[in-house]
Amino acid sequence: MKTVASYNIKGGVGKTTAAVNLAYLAARAGHRTLLWDLDPQGAATFLFRVKPRVKGGSARLVGGKRPLDPALRATDFENLDLLPADFTYRNMDLDLARRGDAKKTVHTLSRLLRDLSDEYDLVFLDTPPSLSLVSENVLHAADVVLVPIIPTVLAQRTFDQLVEFLGTFNGDGPRVHGFFSMADRRKSLHRELIATLPAEREGISATAIPALSVIEQMAVHRAPLGAYAPHSPAARAYDALWTELVQLLATRTTEH
């Protein structure tokens, strides 16, 4: 089982849409896939029309008092299950901190996911925007961290900070893969960064998810792009990102 996190410290950069669309594509490719919506706002949960409720909430889940299995929900798409968000996830940092030993605490999500390793080939983690104990857990659990970057200088700086932070993981950190999100080709800065940054920075792909209304309509259709606009430019961009991810995961398998 491989774990992929969609992560950025900033919010509103396209983490959830990336997680939802890539999980959908993974399932369509025949991988047994789980998407865990860790964001208490529950956007991914909403997009799959699942109720944002987990019995026992965050405390029981991360406390190990309730197994993950009963909380899992099938989506409307074959091979794709969802572990929904719950509003109590807003306290997940505190719940994790209560686990005690700091070293163990950052591996809590990894341990929980280990129980599902026979059931799924791929797990996607849709993370809340922050640098917190939850995100630290996510970064420890992930094999690959996908980082949506809005093509701006500040976003680039945030990516660098993340790479620097992951450099402290003593060699077993995840593979970081940045990609451009909400790219607007009418803006010269966007065009310039998309053209130059991948060559200058390791771990940043030239793939750019365009800022198109068809992506915003995911919330109207409450479905991944592939379900209602499979041939749109945005869907094709996610296809390209999925192809890159497959290669990254294959490399990751070879390395391990």
Partner 1 sequence: MPTSLILHWQGGPTRGEPGAVLAGLAALTGRYDLALGARRVRDATYLDTVDWRLRRCGLVLSHEGSALVLNGSMEPRTTKLSETPTWPARVEHLAPGPVRDGVADAMWIRAVAPKVRSRTITRDVAVLNEDGKTVVRIEWTEATGREPVRTDPLVRVVLRPLRGYQGDADRVARVLLGAAGFTPADDTVFEQLLQAAGMGEDEPGAAITADMPADVAVATALLGFADAITDNLTGTIDDVDTEFLHDLRVAVRRTRSLLKVAGDVLPDRLAERYAPRFKWVGDLTTPTRDLDVYLLGLDELARSLTVGEPADLDPFGAHLRKELATQRRALVRGLESQRFVRLLDGWRAALTKVIENGRSPITARDLAADRIRGVARRVFRRAQAITPESPAEHVHALRKRCKELRYVLEVFRPLCPPGVYRAVLKDLKRLQDVLGAFQDGEVQSAKLRLYAHDMLEHDRPPAATLLAMGELLSRFVREQHEARHDLNGALVTFLGPKTYSRIEGLLP
* Residue 66 to residue 58: CA distance in whole angstroms: 10
User: Hunting for tokens 């774990």 — which residue is that?
Assistant: 3
**What is the nearest approach in angstroms of partner 1 to the Cβ of residue 61?**
15
Which is closer to partner 1, CB of 73 or CB of 99?
Answer: 73
Tell me the H-state helices in the chain. 15-28, 43-47, 57-62, 92-97, 102-105, 108-114, 133-141, 153-166, 188-200, 213-216, 218-221, 225-228, 233-255
User: Which residues, including other chains, have CB under 8 Å from residue 44's CB and lie 6 or more apart?
Assistant: 16, 19, 20, 35, 37, 82, 85, 126
Q: Are 235 and 225 in contact (CB under 8 A)?
A: yes
Which is closer to partner 1, CB of 47 or CB of 155?
Answer: 47
**Residues in the site for partner 1, rule: CB under 8 A?**
48-51, 70-74, 76, 81, 222
**What is the nearest approach in angstroms of partner 1 to the Cβ of residue 72?**
6
**What is the nearest approach in angstroms of partner 1 to the Cβ of residue 42?**
13
Q: Which tokens in the block code for residue 202?
A: 């390791």
**What is the nearest approach in angstroms of partner 1 to the Cβ of residue 35?**
13
Residue 87: CB atoms within 10 Å = 14
**What is the nearest approach in angstroms of partner 1 to the Cβ of residue 49?**
4
Which is closer to partner 1, CB of 106 or CB of 122?
Answer: 122
Which is closer to partner 1, CB of 71 or CB of 212?
Answer: 71
Which is closer to partner 1, CB of 221 or CB of 236?
Answer: 221
Q: Are 124 and 36 in contact (CB under 8 A)?
A: yes
Which is closer to partner 1, CB of 68 or CB of 246?
Answer: 68
Is the Cα dihedral 232, 234, 235, 239 positive or negative?
A: positive
**What is the nearest approach in angstroms of partner 1 to the Cβ of residue 70?**
8
**What is the nearest approach in angstroms of partner 1 to the Cβ of residue 75?**
8
Residue 207 has phi, psi (to 5 degrees) of -65, 130
Q: Which tokens in the block code for residue 254?
A: 């070879």
Which is closer to partner 1, CB of 71 or CB of 215?
Answer: 71
